[in-house]
Structure formats: structure tokens, C-alpha cells
Amino acid sequence: MIIAHLSDIHIREEGAPLAVGNMDYSAMAQQAFDRVTRMTPRPDMMIITGDLADSGQVGEYRRLKTMIEALPFPVHMVLGNHDIRANFLEVFPERKAEGIDFVQFCVEHDDLRIIGLDTLIEGEGKGGLCHERLSYLRDRLAERPDVATIIMFHHQPFLFNAGVYDAVGLKEGVEEFGEIVAANKQIVRVFCGHLHRSLDCLWKGTLVSVTPSVVCSANLPVGDVRIFKNINEPPAFKLHVLVPNEGLVSHLVYVEDFGPAYENLPDPNYQGIVSMTKETGQGAVR
């Protein structure tokens, strides 16, 4: 199974002004969608961990719906701090979790489950998981405790001494969520977005993988960062591959096309390449 993990696509309405830095977020998101669609082998699904719309307007979600309906694979989405739940559900009413007023879901496969959680606290940058949302998680985990499970939501649950970045992570319910993660060994990954950068953290015994934004990057969150800034690093996403008998292997994939790949031919002066070529019967990549 191959999962394309995008985040923070910040869709804007048709004709909306360009974002800071003259960026056309919707066009950049479409470029990312096109990049995923062209991949060989093609991913089995796409997941998007929040900030689906730039300002949470109904028109933005309508444009997003048109974009994802053209994709050849299923798309599973959770909300971020830029989203407005009621407006999202006006366009995607089928995405509401049964019995609760949140956008949560469980995707079932024979050897893998993906549980999406709604960490949105409207009007705030930080995220939260209330008793109702955590109860949903507990119930889903109890259904198939022996199946590898991914949890996906927007706000990162860990702290990393980075000033404003720490202040807007998962705050409400994070301790209880951490206890759930530690107690349920079938949780093999937690997927997040929000930070507009690629980060990984071993947290409560499970790897938390944060994917960057496909529209803009943020300043490096190292040290006591006082303000968020956009920088022109290449947009990217993560590709998670479920390898039989091994587990999930994650790749960082740039949206931009950097040209054709080239083959490293055997070099008799470098025995490492000669050795690898003999073992594989092919040109070595490095």
C-alpha cells in the first residue's frame, strides 16, 4: 500500500488575491495533486492533514471538492486551524462522523487502519481533543487491536523548544492522547501537518511524522522562534509505503520536477559501485 501524505494546501476561491510572496496557493496545490497522480506506481490513496482552505470559506471548499473529484484515488481529509467546520460540512456532509459533530473517520484495510481525528479549535492556532473525540478514538482502537493503525490529524502533539511553534501544537487533551498512544501498541504512526516543514519525533513509543506544506515553507523551527515567516523552499509531501514484513517506509517527495534521472555507470576506480553493480545486475544509484 502506498499513501501520499499532503498537508496545508490552503485552497483559495477562484479569482482571490495571491498570497504573501505572490503565491497562487490553489495552483500550487493542483501541481501537487498532478505530481501524485503521475507517480509510478500510483499511490492507493491521498491523505491531507488539515488547512484544507485558506480562510475556511464555503467557496474554497467547493473548489477543493472539484479538485479532488478529478483524482483517481480516494482522498481522506482532516481539518486544520484555517478551516471552519460548519462550512466544510456544508460542502462535504458525508465527512461528518456518525454520532458526533466532528470530522473523524476510520479507513479499513485488511492489514492497515487509518483513524482521522478532528483537532480544530475554531478561532485558535492550537489544537485540542475533547473527551468526545478521544472516546471515538478509543472505540475504534478497541475494534481491531491487532491491526497496524495510523492516526492522522493536524496539530503536532510533541514539544521541541521552538517558541511560537510549540504554542500552536496539540494542547487540549494531549496528555490523555499520549496515554492512549503509549497503551496501544498497534499504533505504528501519527501523521500531522500544520508546521509547514518536515519533522519526525519518537513520541510515547510511536513515530510522529509531520509532512511539509505543498504551498509554502516556514522558517526553520530551531531555537526560540518568535514569529512565523514564509520562505521559498521547495514544496514537498511524504510518501508512506507499507512494506510486507517490514512496516511503513517514508519518503520525502518534492512537488517540483527537477528533470530526468540519470544512471551512475560502473566506475572501476570506485569499488563500491562495482560491487553494487555486480550484486544487482544494474547500474548503481550511488
Output Rg (C-alpha) for the chain, integer angstroms: 20
Alpha helices in the chain (DSSP H): 25-38, 58-69, 85-91, 131-143, 164-167, 174-183, 271-280
The reported pLDDT for the residue numbered 285 is: 44
- Of the chain, the end-to-end C-alpha distance in Å amounts to 26
The reported pLDDT for the residue numbered 271 is: 62
pLDDT tens readout for residues 221-265: 787 777 878 888 899 999 999 999 899 999 999 999 888 877 766
pLDDT tens readout for residues 182-207: 999 999 999 999 999 999 999 999 99
Residues of the chain with confidence (pLDDT) below 70? 264-268, 270-286
Transcribe 182-218 into DSSP letters. Answer: HH-TTEEEEEE-SSSS-EEEEETTEEEEEPPPSS-EE
The reported pLDDT for the residue numbered 286 is: 46
The whole-angstrom separation of Cα 173 and Cα 134 is: 8
The whole-angstrom separation of Cα 74 and Cα 95 is: 13
Q: What is the DSSP letter of 22?
A: T
The reported pLDDT for the residue numbered 282 is: 54
The reported pLDDT for the residue numbered 284 is: 44
- Domains observed in the chain: 2-255 (3.60.21.10), 262-286 (no CATH)
The reported pLDDT for the residue numbered 22 is: 82
The reported pLDDT for the residue numbered 147 is: 97
Reported pTM: 0.92
Could you give the count of Cα atoms lying within 13 Å of 87 in the half-sphere of its Cβ? 19
